[in-house]
Structure 1
Amino acid sequence: MNHTEMELERPEEYVGQAVLKIDDTRYTVNIEEVEAFISHCKKFMPLHHNSDFELMTQEISDSLIEFTRGDVTMEQIRPQLLFLREVGFLLKGLLTPVEEN
């Protein structure tokens, strides 16, 4: 079977996944990858609340600031710190508990 004949099997719950459009490019939200990411993270960090992701990125950010060599300025590591902050916000909002009625 070549690549053009291959079809990705998806469980029924993944049919109709969200599609994001960024600029002029459309992207499928890969829910399987999100699940794998969360599963891997649970192996080395607590995931009891959405804020656990944000807390982890803040701890990394604090460590960068604390342990950066004296010859590195804040402006040099600022992009990395801002990226970590954004990743923390993204991950915090990634999961929303489903309220059961």
Structure 2
Amino acid sequence: GTTAFILASVSYRSKDGGVTSQRIVAKEIAQFLEVQEVHIITGDWDLIIKLRAEAVDSIGKFVVDKLRLINGLEKTLTCMVFETIKETTKLIIPKKSIKKTVKN
């Protein structure tokens, strides 16, 4: 399979003149089976999307035929993954060090 990360920009005025939001657009994108993750982010882009597909052309078809048709989505930047060095869902939270106080 192939993985891509897609940066997306949201236009807060939809094509029909209504108002939309990052959350509304993100929830619509999240409905697609190819999409593994959707995050609302800070910076020049509004969303980052993690996508998995059979091949590069499948990702292209998804972007052109599905993603770009979403109301409120202004532009996208697709970043293809060449190689994954680490990927995990395991979360390790370090325990706070417990300092013992010495009473005199």
**Scaled by the length of structure 1, what TM-score is found?**
0.23
Asked which structure has the greater CA Rg, the reply is 2
Relative to its length, the structure with more helix (as a share) is 1
Higher RCO by CA contacts (8 Å cutoff, separation 6 or greater): 2
Relative to its length, the structure with more strand (as a share) is 2
